[in-house]
Structure 1
Amino acid sequence: MQPLSFPEKGALIHEGRSLLTDVSLPAAVIDEGALAHNLAWMQRFADHHGAKLAPHGKTTMTPALFRRQLEAGAWGITLATATQCVAAFAHGVSRLLMANQLVGRPNMALIADIIERGAQFYCVVDGIANVQALGAFFAERGLTLPILIELGTDGGRCGVRNERELDALVAAIAGQPALALAGVEGYEGVIGDADPVAAVRAYGERLVATVMALRESGALAVEAPIVTASGSKWFDLIAEAFDRADLRNGYTPVLRPGCYVVHDHRLYRRAMAEVRARHPELQDELRPALSVFAHVQSLPEPGLAIVALGKRDISCDPDLPLALAHYRDGHATAPVSEWQVTHIMDQHVFVTLPAHADIAVGDVIAFGASHPCLTFDKWRQLLRVDDRLNVLDTMPTLF
């Protein structure tokens, strides 16, 4: 007898390709139509604003999606950690922007290894001690490390807070021959203010003014310095700042949204509505592409369904999952707009139902969620499907 093989969750079990009848549910699913639309939409947006696109790969850590983003025109892929960068490089991503500080000799060694193998790599710095450690390590390896200065905000996350800190950091970098100052980086998603739109716009202007001042001072080591920011909520405001400064010539403005590739059904869908309100001239909008399908496993009392899905399968931060559709015998049934997720546990979702709901154990429900990053990292593979819910391929992740 051969050893028993065990599939990943969300795996095709039968020879057919139907998500509803041939896959071991729950399964994380990406709709090809919405995916293709989102890839083209965001690339077109960046191109229109004269910006490069370096999508944040930590959202998906899915090489198949990295390839699609690069094929659509992305300049590079953004990552958050040294190991993520190595994984992306091993799967064909040659330009890597690590929007984080590179700290610790083992992590520096990982990056040095991929630079020696041809990676074009950038990371960020915001402190003199880190600059000195990086300078010493990469000098030992006989390599030059391109770096970006991170600009922070009071009460925010990382980054220099003021001009005094900036000047001291620039001077420290100048004293490290193994480091090449290539531009300025920031992240506007942590800005908290009574008027967040105004605050993000001001931050974008600060980023642009800083990179221009550094170039004027002769501190930069590259001809077309990078200026980069933008998560998935305020990307339009950062693009505005790039546009107003007319950075198309002489600079490399880079937008870094990540969640756009599959969008979502709540958090970023609301953010997209705000983008459309600020820019009514935009054609169309991003579309939710990611959902998770699961079986109804119990109907323990009237008006309540328990679904075989939980925190280990789908994000519940900052919102509970949203019931999208109901299927029986491979076919969609009546709308589920009145079905409400009220509670989620490790492997169970509670769905309250109206009295007239027609539901049975073994039926399938599709769910949407907020913040796709926190759904992707629960899966070792996702299924890409067509509009008939036929599985087109299986996409491994690298978490």
Structure 2
Amino acid sequence: MTASVLSDWTPGAADKDIPPIGALLLTGVSLPAAAIFESPLAQNIAWMQRFAESHGARLSPHGKTTMAPALFRRQLEAGAWGITLATAPQCRAAFAGGVTRLLMANQLVGEPNMAIVAELIGAGAEFYCVVDSATNVTALGRYFAARGQTLNVLIELGVAEGRCGCRDSAQVEALVGVIAEQSALALVGIEGYEGMIAGGDEVAAVSAYGERLVETVRTLRASDTLRREAPIVTASGSKWFDLIAEAFDKAELREYYTPVLRPGCYVVHDHRLYAGAMADIKARNPGLIGDLQPALEVFAHVQSLPEPGLAIVALGKRDIGHEPDLPLPLRLYPLVSHPASAATAVDISRWKATHIMDQHTFLEIPRDTELAVGDVLAFGTSHPCLTFDKWRQMCLVDRELKVLDALETRF
């Protein structure tokens, strides 16, 4: 390393964690590097906010996708109601990044996690979590009563053979009674997650589930058991958000309730899983204007060309998600093989990743391909969540691949 490079390095930090602002990604950043393109990012944030508002709903994006405070702030500045998280430590990280309304779409279990939330509430956070167990409700009530705090809870309504949540109205009714016995708990609405619905007519099943959420919160409001003037009803991942929004889009809910949608992956979208889901959404809603665009890519060097038809790329499980699909080849930048035309990207979407290891991806390529060690390849993802958590810093870039900013993640 040169002295100038060493001057920017700190012990324990990988070079890829320090993207230099103003550098060109292809030649001025240590690769592999994760890049988020500014233009589609901005479009996606604005598009989903408009979509939620057009259905009379609030938007509370699921922050576990990115765990990037800078992106949380942009979503809030665009009009988001709050940020959804999955764990107490995630909520603490979001609050430290400036998020004050936190919806934890999960059960708050274990006293160390309760302690984190108690500290957040004490610091001024507006916090919500979900419950589906009398045992958990009792533990929460005891813990927060001892600290003189009130914890906002939503009953989770699940689906048969799904994940968490009460399975039927009898379980909901019983849990309402247990919550009422806990002076430190405020029941403020109903929460659900439709992403576990699969098999048969999924569209009809998701729509019916959305209606079930609505009917449940209506029943609770009519019974005068809710301690919020505009009770919350919330669901929606990134696959079925249109169907949940349709179920929530009722004049009564717009006026007397707080419908909240919680998609997260939309912020950077992807190149396969959610790209396919968006195509289905557009097919179900032919009048829908605009679209989500993939904004996240990972760039890496060709590392070895050991035999015809095979390229080994310096990109592995430590750098990019590989479920449900292996990394998706997008473009070649021939920095070495054709340096005169290196700025011209070549479409390699027909190439195929066949295997991935910790630091290497095996790429099946045409035998007559002109490729050299040191050329740069751009890869897309299928489901972005498990790429974000590989990085402490990600590059925000423009269309010319100039680094505009370094986006910190807090996993």
The answer, yes or no, to whether TM exceeds 0.5 is yes
Task: For 2:275 and 2:74, locate their aligned partners in 1 and report how far apart those are by CA, in whole Å.
Answer: 22
Secondary structure in structure 2 of the residue aligned to 1:332: coil
- 8 Å contact kept, 1:8–1:381: no
Equivalent residue, structure 2, for 1:25: 31
Equivalent residue, structure 1, for 2:357: 345
Equivalent of 1:263 in 246, 264, 269: 269
Deviation at 1:11, TM superposition (A): 4.3
* Residue pairs, 1:1-399, within 5 angstroms: 5-6=10-11, 7-11=13-17, 17-244=23-250, 246-329=252-335, 330-399=342-411
Deviation at 1:106, TM superposition (A): 1.1
Task: For 1:338 and 1:193, locate their aligned partners in 2 and report how far apart those are by CA, in whole Å.
Answer: 31
Secondary structure in structure 1 of the residue aligned to 2:16: coil
Secondary structure in structure 2 of the residue aligned to 1:351: strand
Aligned residue pairs, count: 399
Secondary structure in structure 2 of the residue aligned to 1:249: helix
Q: Closer, same or farther in 2 for the Cα pair 1:147/1:16, shift >3 Å?
A: closer
In the alignment, structure 2 segments of 5+ residues that lack a partner are 336-341
Q: TM-score, normalised by structure 1?
A: 0.97
Counterpart amino acid of residue 373 in structure 1: C
Q: Render the CA deviation track for 1:106-134: whole Å, top value 9, x for unaligned.
A: 11111011101110000000010111000
Counterpart amino acid of residue 199 in structure 2: D
Q: Render the CA deviation track for 1:272-327: whole Å, top value 9, x for unaligned.
A: 00000000111121000001000001010111111000111111100111111111
Counterpart amino acid of residue 281 in structure 1: G
Counterpart amino acid of residue 378 in structure 1: K
Task: For 1:73 and 1:112, locate their aligned partners in 2 and report how far apart those are by CA, in whole Å.
Answer: 27
Deviation at 1:215, TM superposition (A): 0.1
Counterpart amino acid of residue 403 in structure 2: V
Counterpart amino acid of residue 60 in structure 2: A
Q: TM-score, normalised by structure 2?
A: 0.94
- 8 Å contact kept, 2:84–2:102: yes
Counterpart amino acid of residue 218 in structure 2: M
- 8 Å contact kept, 1:323–1:367: yes
Task: For 1:152 and 1:351, locate their aligned partners in 2 and report how far apart those are by CA, in whole Å.
Answer: 41
- 8 Å contact kept, 1:325–1:335: yes
Deviation at 1:16, TM superposition (A): 5.4
State the identity as a percent.
66
Deviates further, 288-297 or 13-22: 13-22
Task: For 1:388 and 1:398, locate their aligned partners in 2 and report how far apart those are by CA, in whole Å.
Answer: 27
Q: Closer, same or farther in 2 for the Cα pair 1:161/1:291, shift >3 Å?
A: same
Secondary structure in structure 1 of the residue aligned to 2:329: strand
Secondary structure in structure 1 of the residue aligned to 2:253: coil
Counterpart amino acid of residue 209 in structure 2: Y
Q: Closer, same or farther in 2 for the Cα pair 1:9/1:157, shift >3 Å?
A: farther
- 8 Å contact kept, 2:299–2:377: yes
Runs of 4+ in 1 over 2 A off after TM superposition: 1-16
Counterpart amino acid of residue 116 in structure 1: G
Q: Closer, same or farther in 2 for the Cα pair 1:138/1:245, shift >3 Å?
A: same
Deviation at 1:175, TM superposition (A): 0.6
Counterpart amino acid of residue 382 in structure 2: S
Task: For 1:134 and 1:93, locate their aligned partners in 2 and report how far apart those are by CA, in whole Å.
Answer: 23
- 8 Å contact kept, 1:31–1:384: yes
Q: Render the CA deviation track for 1:249-285: whole Å, top value 9, x for unaligned.
A: 0100000000000000110000000000000111121
Counterpart amino acid of residue 387 in structure 2: T
Secondary structure in structure 1 of the residue aligned to 2:279: helix
Deviates further, 384-393 or 334-343: 334-343
Task: For 2:139 and 2:355, locate their aligned partners in 1 and report how far apart those are by CA, in whole Å.
Answer: 47
What do you get for the CA RMSD once the two structures are aligned?
1.5
Q: Render the CA deviation track for 1:184-209: whole Å, top value 9, x for unaligned.
A: 00000011231111110010000000
- 8 Å contact kept, 2:311–2:362: yes
Counterpart amino acid of residue 79 in structure 1: L
Task: For 2:89 and 2:164, locate their aligned partners in 1 and report how far apart those are by CA, in whole Å.
Answer: 20
Task: For 2:179 and 2:170, locate their aligned partners in 1 and report how far apart those are by CA, in whole Å.
Answer: 14
- 8 Å contact kept, 1:265–1:288: yes
Task: For 2:51 and 2:21, locate their aligned partners in 1 and report how far apart those are by CA, in whole Å.
Answer: 41
Task: For 1:199 and 1:245, locate their aligned partners in 2 and report how far apart those are by CA, in whole Å.
Answer: 23
Deviation at 1:328, TM superposition (A): 2.4
